[in-house]
Structure 1
């Protein structure tokens, strides 16, 4: 005769197994995100999702995990730290000839790392609950992972819309395991942002249009990763040397001063992507790009967007004859890239005429330098 399943004990074991698999925290919540639905609809109505048509296409399903995976009763939410040692934020952003890549993307693709660990966690639970049906997700389905993480007690939603944890800041990945057993749920934590607006102040393009609301169309992460077409001209000068993503809103967050560094070897920076000269990255042909970014999240933007982004960064760099030569050599490959090359060339010729004029460091860079002292040791 089988004994009834002790769900409270199982939930405790799940958290222990999750930590053994490398997750720094595991939380559990139900699937009810009905409070998020009007906020999601208002965000979509304002077109803040930009060209990410899938967000509108799936509509309210994103707030209904039980519709995405019928039978789902609980969501197991996990987080995994990714801040690498020697992140060199200000060092990279202060040198306009260096390509800045968001620190989450310097190592192995997190989708693969977290998904495999979540699958392992599901299989571990299955050993104790044979009838369990589970499905892992890592930013791979129309699901509101941040509200779920907040509901599961992982942290609170910051004004930059990311999840903040009191002990870990916001430098972590999220993942979800949907299960069909009624596990006991965790409680949300209190928000502790207070009156702080550091993330809003530090955003280069003003993408955080109001607390908790991000207009993706102005966000550098969206512009360099999600947007397939032309980057709006008025935003190009504000992008600086950021060629894949942006970390500025997290850099200014006071809670990230105590954020721990990652212990995952997979998330350590690749030398080919970290603190590398723009001209060196721009010289890659498509085969080299695919080789150097194999297993990296950077690969998902494809070669033409890679060239588009670097073209903009070269336009923002100080005048160099070598930059003009490199831009000229990249003409006539892709129409979208050509448009950005012409813009960058115009910027370079303008700067050539202005040589010798002293230019003060932009306000954005001065702000970044001012907060770097508060970042975690070795970051």
Structure 2
């Protein structure tokens, strides 16, 4: 009975646009537990994860008497068609691929809800708990056990069909589905992702120090430590470096889900207008993207750092306005940093004026350091 139901569920998943589905036992993830404890002790956690390690590794704490876990994967595009080109005076930022199109949490939750309804129709007594990314379980650990793909050195799940360009979700259930066979790790001796990581966040294959990961750093709301600023480039949210250098991702580009189609002006926006965007405008323009979940402040801070990266002189008036008028110390201080990177007489004058008016200690520190930078250029 359950073997037939499994096949029916697989067939139905294809009908509703799920690209891969796999089944895993609901046993505790004991090996993962050891890694998570070590990860925490080393200070490598991002802080966005579920704090209770037991809940992350024991499905029985999330659903009474679980018998299996259903894992799903949806492929997302890796290429931006008709991408607008940034140029002097019109510099652009970039949202990572996982933020293209509609927020993937919403997309996958809809798919999981359809699977739930399908199971309920077949088995009225079925119980389940579904989650996407923000749930307690590790999406990657479940996907690996369910045969969706292997857990790679870049800490992503790599599928033979779509590379690592997949979103993951899962459903714990009391239905005893037969588990699938995991895929053998195929990274071999390749270390391209480790070698290419801009901040050396990939400590070793399969171990990530999230505190150094640009994808994490772009989501923080405080001052970005100076050692990371020049590594940010024009990234507004996320980082794809460890994916784009991966040989398994070469030639992988899937655009089969309309809701994941990237809107060029949305995912590669002009930087300068972001500095003065209102909350309402930000929600209207970017609110449907997963990259907007932390609000506009991190995006604006990153846009300022991107303008510093380009040393965009035409943005000086806008940056000076942020330095003088923005109520948020992080943005004022980051604007001072950018003005210092651009340099010149106008920058020096603006920084000296701000120094005489600013009261916030952290901002004063940034202004003084920016003045030193300008002096070193003259």
TM range (shorter): 0.7 to 0.9
> Partner of 1:273: helix, strand, or coil?
helix
- 1:13 is aligned to 2:11: no
CA distance 1:94–1:314, change in 2 (3 Å): closer
- 1:209 is aligned to 2:177: no
CA drift at 1:292: 0.5
CA drift at 1:87: 5.5
- 1:107 is aligned to 2:75: no
Distance 2:85 2:151 in 1: 29
Distance 1:220 1:74 in 2: 35
Residue equivalent to 2:299: 306
TM-score where L is the length of structure 1:
0.85
Distance 1:336 1:182 in 2: 52
- 1:147 is aligned to 2:147: no
CA drift at 1:80: 0.2
Distance 1:94 1:242 in 2: 17
- 1:329 is aligned to 2:321: yes
- The 5-angstrom pairing of residues 91-170 of structure 1 reads 97-170=91-164
CA drift at 1:104: 1.8
Residue equivalent to 2:312: 319
Aligned pair count reads 344
- 1:280 is aligned to 2:276: no
> Partner of 1:98: helix, strand, or coil?
coil
Distance 2:46 2:108 in 1: 27
Residue equivalent to 1:366: none
TM-score where L is the length of structure 2:
0.85
42, 49, 53: which one aligns with 1:46: 42
- Long gaps (5+) in structure 2: 348-378
- Long gaps (5+) in structure 1: 1-5, 354-379
1:297-341: CA deviation from partner (whole Å, max 9, x where unpaired): 122121222211111111111331x21111112233211222211
CA drift at 1:241: 0.4
CA drift at 1:352: 9.4
Distance 2:86 2:312 in 1: 18
> Partner of 1:301: helix, strand, or coil?
coil
**Greater relative contact order (Cα 8 A, min sep 6): structure 1 or 2?**
1
> Partner of 2:226: helix, strand, or coil?
coil
1:208-254: CA deviation from partner (whole Å, max 9, x where unpaired): 111111111111110112x2322111111111100110111100111
Distance 1:93 1:140 in 2: 37
- 1:234 is aligned to 2:224: no
Residue equivalent to 1:341: 335
- 1:26 is aligned to 2:21: yes
Residue equivalent to 1:377: none
CA distance 1:287–1:133, change in 2 (3 Å): same
CA drift at 1:97: 2.2
Conserved 8 A contact 2:127-2:174: yes
Distance 1:260 1:342 in 2: 40
CA distance 1:81–1:95, change in 2 (3 Å): farther
Conserved 8 A contact 1:92-1:100: no
CA drift at 1:47: 0.7
Conserved 8 A contact 1:168-1:258: no
Conserved 8 A contact 1:74-1:178: yes
Residue equivalent to 2:368: none
| Alpha-carbon RMSD | 2.4
> Partner of 2:72: helix, strand, or coil?
strand
- 1:183 is aligned to 2:172: no
Distance 1:295 1:86 in 2: 18
- The 5-angstrom pairing of residues 259-270 of structure 1 reads 259-270=252-263
Conserved 8 A contact 1:84-1:269: no
Which of 1 and 2 has greater Rg?
Answer: 2
> Partner of 2:74: helix, strand, or coil?
strand
CA drift at 1:164: 0.4
